[in-house]
Structure 1
Amino acid sequence: MVEPVVTYRVPGRSAEAEIEVKRSRFRCTVERVEDEAAARALVERLRREHWDARHHCSAFVVGPPPVPVERSSDDGEPAGTAGAPMLEVLRGAGLSDTAVVVTRWFGGTLLGAGGLVRAYGDAVRAAVARAGLLERRLRSEVEVELDHAEAGRVETELRSRGVDVLETAYGARVRVLLGVEPEQVARTEGLLAELTSGAARPAVVGQRWVDGSPAVG
């Protein structure tokens, strides 16, 4: 049985890195993107900004595993020498919601297929290292309504025990939306019962991906 995917990685920030190989410059831009349209918009923006470059090769992975959308483009380089190795770097890092574009200024010397594969892959690795990695985690959304008099205390206790408080809305009562690891829902329901002397009536209302801590390795 395949285990469900509950984490994946995104870039910690937008970043650029440039390498030079036999006077050809390879500048990689990496950005976090929400969808395929945003990834394609990044390519077009860089194509306009660096109109004097010969190639704007790209790769992107969008959407949570296990079935993200993956695309790559050699943009005029020999087939399989640019987009595919760029995409492999993203896969190897476990990244999604990520677009990379390598802009190449030709230096006058042909690098051969192997040289191009290495150069495009190395440019992406350098930019990803500069961007850093951030974990995204799948969380069950647990909603609970609390009296105003106890909401502050309960919320503080939940945070101190590692429960993510995603939203707090104030009305006739206080509606608190919690982000809980799927396997910890029952434990969280027990914790709420303990903190409210059994008065809380939590309910699982959905799931969402939330940003977590920087990824290591």
Structure 2
Amino acid sequence: MVADYAIPAAPLELCEEIKKSRFITLIAHAPTVEAAKAWIGEVKRQHPTARHHCWAFVAGAPQDSQVYGFSDDGEPSGTAGKPMLAQLMGAGIGEIAAVVVRYYGGVLLGTGGLVKAYGGGVGTALKRLETRIKRQQTPSLICCDYGDMGGVEALISAHQGQLLAADYGQQVRLQVAWDAAIWSQVDQEMTDRTHGRVSLRPLDG
């Protein structure tokens, strides 16, 4: 199971001038690859006259390489997107996207200068970024009689379960997500409180 990890709590933007070129670094929350690409597209629309819009993202858990992406957007290969991604990976933050917008000032920076400008810009932004912890959740199915609903609802409230779906037929069927760290504890309490009539059934999440 994926451990809890930090994600951006709020977007961030910073600007610096390096040898007459203006570099604007933007960071945002990107829970999916689709969300990351949509945000990158929005940044490009906001800066239509910029020479480059280089980007990188980790659009999921920090160690999930399947949700990595980057682009040099016309800068020499390996001088922009890759060092930006390296900074994101090194920070251990998930669901994060970064764009560095460059307004060219007429002075060439060279390979080393570009790596420092793009990677360094993201590194500086990450030091200022506010984050919050994303808790991993385990979804479960609860089937119970109406007579047990009081105890079930009390446990859901006590352990801050998130109600995903409810079906009130002959029996009550609830889909509830719990903090993964306490799932076993909740299951045991549910069994004890209802004298074995109700337990949690894991759902594929």
TM-score scaled by structure 2? 0.80
Aligned 1:33-112 pairs, distance under 5 A: 33-64=30-61, 65-112=63-110
How far apart are 1:53 and its partner, in Å? Answer: 1.0
Alignment partners' CA distance in 1, 2:147 and 2:15: 56
| Change in 2 beyond 3 A, CA 1:13/1:151 | farther
Aligned 1:184-203 pairs, distance under 5 A: 184-203=182-201
1:123 maps to 121
Quick check: 1:155 aligned with 2:153?
yes
8 A contact 1:10–1:134 mirrored in 2: yes
Instruction: Report the identity percentage.
Output: 35
Residue 12 of structure 1 aligns to which amino acid in structure 2?
A: A
8 A contact 2:155–2:190 mirrored in 1: no
Per mean C-alpha deviation after superposition, the further-off stretch among 19-28 and 144-153 is 144-153
Task: State the secondary structure of the residue aligned to 1:25.
Answer: strand
Residue 88 of structure 1 aligns to which amino acid in structure 2?
A: A
Indicate the structure with greater strand content: 1
Please point out which of 8, 12, 19 is paired with 1:15.
12
Quick check: 1:167 aligned with 2:167?
no
| Change in 2 beyond 3 A, CA 1:151/1:128 | farther
Gaps of 5+ in 2: none
Please point out which of 125, 130, 133 is paired with 1:132.
130
Alignment partners' CA distance in 2, 1:149 and 1:15: 50
Alignment partners' CA distance in 2, 1:53 and 1:120: 15
| Change in 2 beyond 3 A, CA 1:138/1:68 | farther
Task: State the secondary structure of the residue aligned to 1:56.
Answer: strand
How far apart are 1:77 and its partner, in Å? Answer: 1.9
8 A contact 2:165–2:176 mirrored in 1: no
Task: State the secondary structure of the residue aligned to 2:135.
Answer: strand
Aligned residues: 203
